[in-house]
Amino acid sequence: MVNYAQRFAGATVITLLLIISIVGAAFWINNTFPATVNPEKIQANLTVTGIEIESTIYRGENLNVQIQINVSAQTHFDYALFSFQRSSRISHYWALINQTFQKGNFSVDAKITPGIYNSSADQFFALSDGSYTLVSMNYTFSVNHVKVTKTFQISRTVSVIPYPIFNRLKTSTWQITGTGFNSTVIASDGTITFPSGIGTATATTVSNFTAATHLTLTLPKGLSGLLTVGNISKSISGGNETVNVAAIDEMQTITMTVDTETNSSEINITVVLETKKRVLLVVVANDRWDTNFPSSHTIIEEVNQYFQYWFNLTFKVILDIPIVYNGSTALPELFEFAKKELGNELKLSNNQWSHARGRRIGNLGADIMMINTNKTMSNYGMVIGDSMGGYNMLANAGGSLNANGFRLAPEWADNLFQHELSHVFGAPDRRTGIDLPSVMTKSETLQELTQDLNAGTLWLTLNTWLPEDIKTMATQLKFYDNFQG
C-alpha cells in the first residue's frame, strides 16, 4: 500500500520522464524532417530540360529514353511515369529511377519494356508493330522524403517495326571448282557470276541452316544443273527455286552444279538463305503457378533456346497477370475463364482474348496468351485449334488427371511449355511406339511410360523435334508475321 507522499513523488518522476521524452522526440523529428523542407521550396530543385527517345525500334526490344535534368541542390530522382498514346488509347509506363543528384546537368537513362500497363485502371497496349506517341512524362523527386511531382509535356513518335529479313549467305564463302573459272565473281549479296561458255561449274558453301526457313535461288532461264542441300537434291532449270530448309540438320553443304555453256556473256545465280528474327509477345495468365514451379519467365527463357535455334523465334513475357481459377478441371473451361479475365483486366476491345490462329488485332499488340495453373487438371496442357493448326493460346498445368493425377516435376516444365508452344505452330501430338522420340512423342499407357522412362525417351525430358514437325512449324510461322482479324 502506498501513501500520498510516495504517490506524489512517483507522479513527479513520471511527468519529468514524459517531458524529457517529448523534448527528445521533438529533437529527433527536427533532425529527420527539417522544418525548411516543404514541397513549394523544393519545386525548383529538379527540372527536366529535354527528353531523347529512339524514333524506331524492333518489336520486342526495350525502348531507351534519356531524360535531361537540371538540378540546383541535392535531390533524389524517384521515378518517371510516361504517358503513351496509340490511336485513342492512352497508357502509362512507370520507370523507377532511384538516383540522387548533386547540383548540375545530368542525363538519366530509363528503359521501357514492351508491356505498357501501369495499373488495372489503365488501358493496356503492348509496344508492338505500329506508331506510338509519347505525350507527357510525370516525374517525381524528393528531398528528405518530401516528394514533388512535375509534368514535362512532349510529343514524340516512336515506330515499332518487325525485324527485317536478311540473307545468311552474305557472310558465306563459296568454293568454285572446275577449270577456267578464275574470273568467277562472288558478290556480297550472295550472287555468283560465272563466265559463260566454259563448261560445268560447281559452287559449294557450308552453312548452318538453323533459324533459316527457306533457300531461294534465282538463276537465268535456260540454265540447267543440280542443287544439293544436305541429303536433298533438286534439278534446277532457271527461274526461281525455293527449298524449305527448316528441317535440314545443322551444318550442311550447299552444292550447285551448273552448266555454263550458254550464249549469255555471264551467268548470275543469286542464293538467299532467308532468316529473320521474330519476337512474339506473351501474356501469362498465372493461376498460382509459382507456388510449385519456377516463374513462367524463367521457363520461357529456357525454351527460347530451342525456338531460336531452329526458327530464330523468341518468346518474350510482357505481362504475368495473377488469376484465381476455381472452376472444374476441364482445360477448355480454364481457357474460357482466362480469356475473359485477361480481357477485362487489360480492357481488350472484345472484353476477351481474341483467339484464332496468328496475331490478332483485338489483343492490342500481345501475341500469345499462356495460361499456367498450379492445379492438377484434366491434362498437363492443351492447345485448341482447327485442322490448320493451333490457336494463339496455350495452357500448362501442374498435374494431369489423365496421367493418374501425377504431378509435373518442376524440371519437366520447360519440356511441357515447349510441347504446348509447338502445338500453337501446328506440330501434332505423336505417340511412343509409332513415332520416333521427340518432345511431341507422348507415352499414353503405363507400359509406354515405363518404356520411355527406362530408355530416357520420355517426352517430358526431351527438347528435340522431328524434322517434319520443324518443317510444319516453319511454315505456320507466317501467321505470326502480321496482325490479322
- Residue closer to Zn ion by CB (options 141, 459) is 459
* Footprint on residues 328-357 left by Zn ion (CB under 5 A): none
* Footprint on residues 217-236 left by Zn ion (CB under 5 A): none
- Residue closer to Zn ion by CB (options 12, 402) is 402
Contact 396, 417 (CB under 8 A): yes
Q: In sequence order, what are the beta bridge partners of 381?
A: 396
Q: In sequence order, what are the beta bridge partners of 158?
A: 132
CA distances in angstroms from 436 to 72, 138, 146, 432, 466, listed in the order given? 70, 58, 66, 7, 8
| Piece in contact with Zn ion (CB under 5 A), picked from 60-68, 119-127, 133-141, 423-431 | 423-431
- Residue closer to Zn ion by CB (options 429, 448) is 429
DSSP secondary structure of 366-408: --EEEEEEEEEESSSEE--EETTEE-SEEEEEEEEGGGTTEEP
Q: How far is the CB of 418 from Zn ion (least distance, A)?
A: 11
Question: Measured between alpha carbons, how far is 338 from 342 in angstroms, rounded to an integer?
Answer: 6
Question: Measured between alpha carbons, how far is 151 from 82 in angstroms, rounded to an integer?
Answer: 10
- Residue closer to Zn ion by CB (options 256, 421) is 421
Size of the site for Zn ion (CB under 5 A): 1
- Residue closer to Zn ion by CB (options 129, 429) is 429
- Residue closer to Zn ion by CB (options 244, 379) is 379
Q: How far is the CB of 435 from Zn ion (least distance, A)?
A: 12
Q: How far is the CB of 484 from Zn ion (least distance, A)?
A: 24
Q: How far is the CB of 457 from Zn ion (least distance, A)?
A: 16
Q: In sequence order, what are the beta bridge partners of 83?
A: 92, 136
- Residue closer to Zn ion by CB (options 278, 430) is 430
Question: Measured between alpha carbons, how far is 101 from 72 in angstroms, rounded to an integer?
Answer: 9
Of 406, 408, 383, give the one whose Cα is nearest residue 398. 408
Amino acid identity for residue 30 in this structure = N
x/- site string to Zn ion, residues 86 to 125, per CB under 5 A? Answer: ----------------------------------------
CA distances in angstroms from 334 to 228, 391, 404, 411, listed in the order given? 48, 15, 20, 24
Q: How far is the CB of 143 from Zn ion (least distance, A)?
A: 58
Amino acid identity for residue 422 in this structure = S
* Footprint on residues 376-405 left by Zn ion (CB under 5 A): none
Contact 61, 281 (CB under 8 A): no
Q: How far is the CB of 242 from Zn ion (least distance, A)?
A: 30
- Residue closer to Zn ion by CB (options 358, 381) is 381
Question: Measured between alpha carbons, how far is 356 from 484 in angstroms, rounded to an integer?
Answer: 9
* Footprint on residues 425-484 left by Zn ion (CB under 5 A): 429
| Piece in contact with Zn ion (CB under 5 A), picked from 96-104, 177-185, 301-309, 422-430 | 422-430
Q: How far is the CB of 429 from Zn ion (least distance, A)?
A: 4
- Residue closer to Zn ion by CB (options 333, 429) is 429
Give the residue nearest to Zn ion (CB). 429
Q: How far is the CB of 468 from Zn ion (least distance, A)?
A: 16
Query: Which residue reads 520507370 in cell numbers?
Result: 95
Lookup: cell for 104? 548540375
| Piece in contact with Zn ion (CB under 5 A), picked from 103-111, 235-243, 424-432, 467-475 | 424-432
Question: Measured between alpha carbons, how far is 116 from 84 in angstroms, rounded to an integer?
Answer: 9
Backbone angles phi, psi at 174, to 5 degrees: -85, 140
Strand intervals (E) in 13-116: 46-53, 56-58, 63-71, 75-86, 89-101, 104-112, 115-116
Q: How far is the CB of 422 from Zn ion (least distance, A)?
A: 8
The verdict on 78 binding Zn ion (CB under 5 A) reads no
Q: How far is the CB of 417 from Zn ion (least distance, A)?
A: 12
- Residue closer to Zn ion by CB (options 160, 424) is 424
Query: Under the rule (CB under 5 A), what is the footprint of Zn ion?
Result: 429
